[in-house]
Amino acid sequence: MSENGSHRIAIIYRRIGLFTCSSVFLLFLFGGLVRATGSGMGCPDWPKCFGQLAPPFHEKDLPANYQQIFLEKRTKKLNRFLSTLEKLGMHEKAVAIRAEKSVYLPEAFDPVKAWIEYINRLFGVLSGLFAIAFIGMGIVYRKQLVGTRMWLIMGFIFLLLNAWLGSIVVATNLLPGIVSLHFMLSFICLFAFIKAINVVVPVLKHHQQSEKKYWNILWLALFVVVILGTWSREHIDQLRVAGELIDTESGWINMAKMDALFAIHRYVPGLILIFAFLRLRADNKSFFGWSQHWNKIAWLCVAQIAFGAIHIVYAIPQWTQIAHVVLGSGLLTYSYLILSAYRTEK
């Protein structure tokens, strides 16, 4: 194939890859919307919603005993999942999940929550279709897209694994830990697809190799903060259900009930902000700007810290939840884009 033909294939491949990554990233937005509105169990079954291809608009369109029907279906799927855990030697974990009363609670129909969860699932399907096209192009033009196969397969496997885990999230009624794992696997899937693009045509231009160590530190710190944030969010849900989330005297979040992991999630962004400021000082760049990568990191950290403060004072408003999740995911993804540009440098 001519050089122009190979270049055209690389450009098309890059565009499909960016569409795939964008659709996966949009799942962070819709996932944040699902969590903020409490719509995680808006559809009590999977992959359908209340046994239909699209959720109904009125409860009267469902059988009178629909709660019992879908609870039984969910319980069967849960038992299959627990049997798998036992076969893998995770007997104690299976026993602990069986003893959790919340997983056996029926779900009442709420049309708004059902459609929010349903739209989230539609974007999951869209991500899968883009991923299939992305992988298909990598297979068809494997001679021109050398080095992409492993990353494409890895991304697709984690996408399928995450889709399956989504069904387990529903079967376990948003059991803590499984939701965090669901979120983490989404990042692994996204990063694998980004790497598959960078092997051929880097998303961002290459940078000075001497800076790579700083971005390694930043990416690791952000990854820890984001995952701990997901875990803290699950802890907050538990406190809300128990009626212990709000401090009766101050009206703020009851900080005495939060664990050490929340403290790490709370204070590390401040350290990242200082780190970004020091990198700007080392490069003789002004903090008040948006032109440098470190400027963007710094200002996004400022926004995240502000949202975190609003969460504590106003007990996590819905709109800040969504913004907090999207900005946190954006920070982690942005830092990986920069870091992966170093890894493809020749």
pLDDT digits (tens, 9 = 90+) for 62-80: 888 888 988 888 888 888 8
Q: How far is CA 264 from CA 222, 260, 268, in A?
A: 11, 6, 6
> Which band of pLDDT confidence, cut at 50, 70 and 90, is reported for residue 210?
low
Select from 138, 170, 177 the least CA-distant residue to 154.
138
At 174 the pLDDT is: 66
Q: What SS3 state is found at 253?
A: strand
CA 177 to chain CA mean position, Å: 13
> Which band of pLDDT confidence, cut at 50, 70 and 90, is reported for residue 2?
low
At 1 the pLDDT is: 56
Q: Which two tokens stand for residue 307?
A: 């949202």
Indicate whether 153 pLDDT > 50.
yes
> Which band of pLDDT confidence, cut at 50, 70 and 90, is reported for residue 344?
very low
Which ranges constitute the DSSP H helices of 88-211? 91-98, 111-140, 149-171, 178-198
User: What rounded mean pLDDT belongs to the chain?
Assistant: 85
More confident residue, 35 or 270: 270
At 233 the pLDDT is: 81
At 206 the pLDDT is: 61
pLDDT, one tens digit per residue, over 83-119 is 888 888 888 878 888 887 777 888 889 999 999 999 9
Average confidence (pLDDT) over 28-40: 83
> What's the CA gap between 276 and 299, in Å, rounded?
9
At 13 the pLDDT is: 92
Q: Which two tokens stand for residue 238?
A: 């538990």
- Decide: 164 and 129 in contact? Cβ < 8 Å: no
Select from 62, 286, 85, 258 the least CA-distant residue to 171.
85
Indicate whether 224 pLDDT > 70.
yes
132's torsion region: left (phi>0), alpha (psi -120 to 50) or beta? alpha
More confident residue, 333 or 255: 333
> Which band of pLDDT confidence, cut at 50, 70 and 90, is reported for residue 345?
very low
> Which band of pLDDT confidence, cut at 50, 70 and 90, is reported for residue 272?
very high
**N residues, the chain:** 346
> What's the CA gap between 97 and 82, in Å, rounded?
8
Q: Which two tokens stand for residue 257?
A: 């009930």
Indicate whether 223 pLDDT > 80.
yes
Q: Which two tokens stand for residue 52?
A: 């239909």
pTM: 0.84
Average confidence (pLDDT) over 245-271: 86
Residue 104: CB atoms within 10 Å: 12
Indicate whether 343 pLDDT > 60.
no
Indicate whether 179 pLDDT > 80.
no
Strand-pair partners of 52? 49
Q: What is the residue whose two structure tokens read 């079967």?
A: 171
Q: What SS3 state is found at 49?
A: strand
- Decide: 303 and 312 in contact? Cβ < 8 Å: no
Contacts of 282 (CB under 8 A, 6+ apart): none
Indicate whether 152 pLDDT > 50.
yes
